[in-house]
Amino acid sequence: MKRALTLIFLALATPLAAHDTTAGSLHIDHPWIPVPTATAKSAAGYMVITNRGHEADELVEVHSAFADQTMLHTTEHADGVAKMTHIMSLPIAPGETVTLEPDGLHVMFMGLQGKTAEGDLIPATLVFRNAGEVAVEFAVDAMDDHPDHSGH
């Protein structure tokens, strides 16, 4: 009986652990931010977006009350120095998966509002050119606990 209850619990918990959202043909997998330090003024957000449809789409904005300003950034390396650059939008071709990850593409939350702790969920809205507004929650995770999306 105990084993059966454990299996039922695991089956029910799996969708929650997945932490994903679908909007039309777009699949957004595990939006997350590393736990910001107590004095942090900014934080980076990551996720994986897959376009399962036949039409291109584009992430054009991100909104959140968590920060005064939210932008899309990419990280570029030149002469051993990493530099973040604002990008106006993030195209997602049909059948393509785009990974926002540390040291690469990311959402930049600037002017943080309030404190967060590991396990918190930060509401945000992703705005796509075709799919429109998509409500998501960025999980506040320990940096070393983030999912490995290298296989996507």
pLDDT tens-digit readout, 3-43? 443 333 434 443 444 579 999 999 999 999 999 998 999 99
Q: What are phi and psi of 77, to 5 degrees?
A: -115, 130
Read off the pTM: 0.82
Position with higher pLDDT, 15 vs 84: 84
89-95-101-103 Cα dihedral, nearest 10 degrees = -70
| Higher-pLDDT residue of 55, 1 | 55
In a domain, 96, yes or no: yes
How many domains is the chain built from?
Answer: 1
What stretches of 35-105 adopt beta strand conformation (E)? 42-51, 57-63, 67-78, 81-87, 90-92, 97-100
Average confidence (pLDDT) over 137-146:
83
Q: What is the pLDDT of residue 77?
A: 86
Q: Is residue 101 part of a domain?
A: yes
Over residues 73-91, mean pLDDT: 92
What is the predicted pLDDT for the residue at 143?
A: 81
**Section 133-139 average pLDDT:** 97
Beta bridge partners of 44: 108
Cα of 72 vs its chain's centroid, Å: 11
* Percent of the chain at pLDDT exceeding 70: 83
Q: Quick check: is 129 in a domain? A: yes
36 close to 98: Cβ distance less than 8 angstroms: no
- Residues ≥6 apart with Cβ < 8 Å to 11: none
26: domain CATH number is 2.60.40.1890
CA separation for the pair 112, 66 (Å, rounded): 6
State yes or no: pLDDT of 151 exceeds 60: no
Q: How confident is the model at residue 152 (pLDDT cuts 50, 70, 90)?
A: very low
Q: What mean pLDDT is reported for the chain? A: 86
Distance of CA 54 to the CA centre of its chain: 23
Residue 8: inside a domain: no
In a domain, 2, yes or no: no
The predicted pLDDT at position 145 comes to 59
Residue range(s) defining the domain that contains residue 55 = 20-145
Is 104 part of a structural domain of the chain? yes
Is the confidence at residue 89, as pLDDT, over 60?
yes
Residues 22 and 27: their CA atoms lie apart, in Å, by 4
pLDDT at 71: 96
Q: What's the pLDDT at 3?
A: 45
The answer to whether residue 3 is domain-embedded is: no
Q: State how beta strands 81-87 and 132-141 pair.
A: unpaired
